Chain A
């Protein structure tokens, strides 16, 4: 395995990364343009940031699959910096802001040098969510008007929100053909974006939704241009304008306002958001990495700082790590940082080759993409989810959201932190616990000499105030080992910590380790922090929706009675082992429910809720799986129907194992696995005949057990019965081997 040199591995992985970089560039182009326009910067500023990010961070960075470029979170701060410092002259404001961006790049670099990445833990989860929601509302409020074709709406977020009805009224009462076309493009694009995730067609899904929007709207514009001979149907304010000569017309930062307090304030806000957005994204991408690598956060921050400096020098926005594009990258089979590089290389190509076509993109289409982005950030279900954790979390969320909307981002997050602290003090009925113990060490971690387990004990309290101390210790535990976290000496654990621990728990179980939290039952009895407890057990928060069984559940129950199996409708978050299947390598398992288990525990049928991608590219799935115990040791392999998508995947994944003797099987199935020889030996004639003569399932073996899925949706009772029969026959054949 290790015979190949790193360089050879790099070469072998190259096609995958080029492909993935290409797909990412398809989404990076519209987002880059859109985010820049939303910040009132020239459209090219976003593309420059993506190019600088891809080039620099791919070489100097410390993460593996992240994509860097202009970020959603920064739109609002950069917008207010440009408007605020421009004092009416947006272009001049943009030049001042470039200086602020450059300085923030330097600060980012300094953060990395002094290893301050851990400081991001100092922000309470809920306050951060509130801040992100506020950013989402900000983007949505401004872009909604543009989506309808009105570009002249000014004012702060609250004003723009209030003006939304009047824009709609305007559209109804005063329909010029320009406005109708613009709003039609915008609204249809938005509808499409919302529906895209529901379209289950692998070829269609190959191109990211934002690119479809761009392509279709460019098509419409060409239709008006070439066929209807009406090139100026949309006014100049609704079209993207790129400078004629891209290289000579680069703006440069204006340091004229460096010493003003305004400038310093904006710089700090920009840095703050850049750090938070990047670190959140890096952490999230690490969880999606199929190779389970850990990113070097501080190295990445340094690289982002340098990239931001370069980007701003050429007139670009901040470079941050972005989650949506990164998850597209992961899903398209990227293997290393070079994908980020190729994404920016393709952007350079696009800009050089398609400058004319890009200028055909109507603003309402880009605005629709941004409205969708803003909606996903501020979606009401986020608030609902926060309230489920606890009412006080809802209070923190709303306080931060409103404070950010009314004042500005730094004040908002600061108020969010203060609110969280206040809530904690109220819940404990005193602040002494915090004031007395904040600066004291409170973590003990050691490798138990008798058992070889890592034992971590936490004393006093553990909240966002001192979570970084616990994290520092946890980060030193290899995730493939067994860790026990004991909270019995700890009087208070907050939501930020519980959520953080949940991440660790997933990380450990992905790498075959074991992460156990003990000593929290004491707390429940004292009801000191029910919200934290509830967080740690996602099943209990979902229990309430299972009061009465649905028709399908009743049928499942009947089926289990006939088979004399055990049926459990409740969701459980215990899905150990599932993550080790290929199928879930880049997916995120939420919970398992409707479990049907045979008495001898060899058959386990369940519905599974899981997600792929993240943020605007996130897709939620619910499918029915059957997991059976293999009668004997088997090679590790995955068997799927051969279709267009799997052909594409072969560019990026393991090669299809074909059998000359069985052309029909080889044509119909895509078989892959590391140990090709063992798999070839395993797939004997009778087994191949069995697969050929039965409906094609997605089937995977991890050595000891077999996972079977029919379609990417819940199976009907009839389908379940078929699947069970299929599995029984399969077991018989395997037993006779």
Chain B
């Protein structure tokens, strides 16, 4: 269990009612991932704030020797992004907000901006808590992209670190790939056959990726694949919710050409409504 998934983990903190839960959760995650924890607060540093924060850290049941606390001033988004580069962190932890009365989580504007612009991996937590809720089931995207291999690998490493026993690899296949409009029985048959073919192709591709991973990563983990014909980025979030997974692992937004960026807004669906904790993997962000 001592694999290091993320070496340097950064947490931006504010003095909110959630502070205790956030700190506890961060410490716990740092322990699981075997990384060094860097707390950054954007705002003025006062003795009261400092002692209050240290108190909370000290009260956590999980402790870590490798903690740094930094106090910075400036615009939160830019400051945190700059800090992340300065410390060369591998992972940023961000908390989501809960919509009043409804069990729906979304990202605040600061977190959203950081997610879009960060160069490293990001973990979005919907429900930081003082007590640990275990992670059993991880859903990871498997669509065809150069980054996907790394993402799947990261998912298996995270599963090892968190003790998750089940991974579902979801291949989202764009409906337009089927290229048959269903109008009547004949076109329905045609579309069904075409889908079956695409499904098998995708499945083989994803299975190959997993089978090429080191055996010690995939052992003891029950992994399955699932193809979904639907809008990329949306379907996987809905799926993660339906299967009640505990963590969704996704590729970071690809920085492609202008047109691509217009179309692939995969992650935006997830940011608007977080189905569960989400880990966004940037290819170079882990080892």
The chain A residues found within 8 Å of chain B, CB to CB, are 62, 115, 293-299, 440-441, 443-450, 455, 457, 459, 475-476, 478, 486, 489
Contacts and interface: CB of A to CB of B under 8 A. Distances in A.
B118 interface: no
Interface in B207-235: 224-231, 234-235
Given A296-B183, A297-B183, A486-B242, A450 B224 contact: yes
Given A457-B242, A459-B238, A476-B191, A444 B183 contact: no
A449 B235 CA distance: 16
Contacts of B187: 296
A178 B278 CA distance: 84
B69 interface: no
B199 interface: yes
Interface-centre pick from B224, B225, B234 (highest chain A CB count, 10 A): B234
Contact of B183 (A298, A440, A478): A298
A489 B269 contact: no
A295 B184 CA distance: 6
A328 B229 CA distance: 40
Contacts of B199: 447
B242 A444 contact: yes
7 contacts: A440-B272, A446-B226, A446-B229, A446-B239, A449-B226, A457-B238, A457-B242
B228 A444 contact: yes
Nearest to A476: B182
A476 B188 contact: yes
Interface in B185-209: 185, 187-189, 191-192, 195, 199
A444 B238 contact: yes
A299 B183 contact: yes
B138 to A, nearest CB: 17
A476 B239 CA distance: 18
Given A441-B234, A457-B242, A447 B227 contact: yes
Nearest to B187: A296
Given A445-B230, A446-B229, A489 B224 contact: no
B241 interface: yes
Contacts of B231: 441
Given A296-B183, A298-B183, A441-B234, A449 B224 contact: yes
B254 interface: no
A444 B182 contact: no
Nearest to A488: B242
A200 B226 CA distance: 56
B242 A296 contact: no
A444 B235 contact: yes
B181 interface: yes
Nearest to B234: A441
A450 B230 CA distance: 19
Contacts of A293: 184-185
A489 B188 contact: no
Question: How many B residues are at the interface, by size bracket?
Answer: 20 to 34
Contacts of A299: 183-184
B191 to A, nearest CB: 6
Closest 3 CB pairs of A and B: A444-B238, A296-B183, A296-B184
Contacts of A475: 182, 188
A449 B238 CA distance: 17
Most buried by B among A62, A445, A455, A476: A476
A634 to B, nearest CB: 29
A298 B182 CA distance: 11
B182 to A, nearest CB: 5
B134 to A, nearest CB: 23
Contacts of A295: 184
Contacts of B269: 440-441
B98 to A, nearest CB: 15
A447 B191 CA distance: 14
Given A293-B185, A299-B184, A447-B199, 16 more contacts: A115-B181, A295-B184, A299-B183, A440-B269, A441-B231, A443-B230, A444-B228, A445-B229, A446-B230, A447-B227, A448-B226, A457-B242, A475-B182, A476-B188, A476-B192, A478-B188
B184 A294 contact: yes
A399 B67 CA distance: 67
Nearest to B185: A294
B101 to A, nearest CB: 10
Nearest to A458: B238
A489 B241 contact: yes
Contacts of A62: 183-184
Contacts of B229: 445-446, 476
Nearest to A286: B184
A298 B241 CA distance: 35
A446 B228 contact: yes
Contacts of A450: 224
A604 B234 CA distance: 48
A13 B226 CA distance: 45
A372 B182 CA distance: 38
Nearest to B196: A447
A595 B195 CA distance: 44
A444 B188 contact: no
A292 B234 CA distance: 34
Contacts of A445: 228-230
B184 A444 contact: no
Contact of A489 (B226, B227, B242): B242
B144 to A, nearest CB: 17
A446 B184 contact: no
Nearest to B238: A444
A476 B235 CA distance: 16
Contacts of B227: 446-447, 449
Contacts of A459: 238, 241
Contacts of A446: 226-230, 235, 239
Contacts of B188: 294, 475-476, 478
